[in-house]
Structure 1
Amino acid sequence: MRVVSLVPSLTEAIAVTAPGLLVGVTDWCSRPPGLDARRIGGTKNPDVAAVLALRPDRVIANEEENREPDLTALREAGAEVLVTEVRGLDQAFRELERVLVTGCALARPRWLDEAQEAWAAVESLPELRAVVPVWRRPWMVLGRDTFAGDVLARLGVVNVYAGHTERYPRIPLDELRASGAEAVVLPDEPYRFTADDGPEAFPGLPAALVDGRYLTWYGPSLVRAPAMLGAALSGARRAAPGTADPAR
Structure 2
Amino acid sequence: MRVVSLVPSLTEAIARSAPGALVGATDWCTHPADLDVERIGGTKNPGLDRIVALAPDLVIANEEENRAPDLEALREAGLQVLVTEVRDVPQAFRELARVVEACGVLRPRWLDEAEKAWAALAPPSRRTTAVVPIWRRPWMVLGRDTFAGDVLSRLGVDHLYVTHEDRYPRIPLEELRAAAPDLVVLPDEPYRFTPDDGPEAFPGLPCALVSGRHLTWYGPSLAEAPRALGEALRAALR
TM-score by length of 2: 0.98
Q: Match of 2:71?
A: 71
Across the aligned residues of Structure 1 and Structure 2, the Cα RMSD in angstroms comes to 0.7
SS at 2:234 equivalent: helix
Q: Match of 1:159?
A: 159
SS at 1:150 equivalent: helix
The question of 1:123 aligning with 2:103 is answered no
SS at 2:72 equivalent: helix
- After superposition, residues 1-248 of structure 1 pair within 5 angstroms as 1-101=1-101, 103-125=102-124, 126-238=126-238
Q: Which runs of 4+ in 1 moved over 3 A?
A: none
1:44-70 CA-to-partner distances (Å, cap 9, x unmatched) read: 111111101111100000001100111
> C-alpha displacement at 1:36, in angstroms?
1.4
1:26-52 CA-to-partner distances (Å, cap 9, x unmatched) read: 111111011011111111111111101
> C-alpha displacement at 1:237, in angstroms?
2.8
> C-alpha displacement at 1:2, in angstroms?
0.5
Identity value in percent:
71
CA distance in 2 between counterparts of 1:61 and 1:209 reads 28
TM-score by length of 1: 0.94
Question: What is the letter of the counterpart of residue 139 of structure 1?
Answer: W
CA distance in 1 between counterparts of 2:187 and 2:44 reads 21
> C-alpha displacement at 1:236, in angstroms?
2.5
Question: What is the letter of the counterpart of residue 129 of structure 2?
Answer: R
1:124-175 CA-to-partner distances (Å, cap 9, x unmatched) read: 2211100000000000000000000000000000111101110000000010
Question: What is the letter of the counterpart of residue 138 of structure 1?
Answer: P
Unaligned runs of 5+ in 1: 239-248
CA distance in 1 between counterparts of 2:181 and 2:33 reads 37
1:185-216 CA-to-partner distances (Å, cap 9, x unmatched) read: 00000000011111111111100000100000
- Is the contact made by 2:89 and 2:150 (CA closer than 8 Å) also made in structure 1? yes
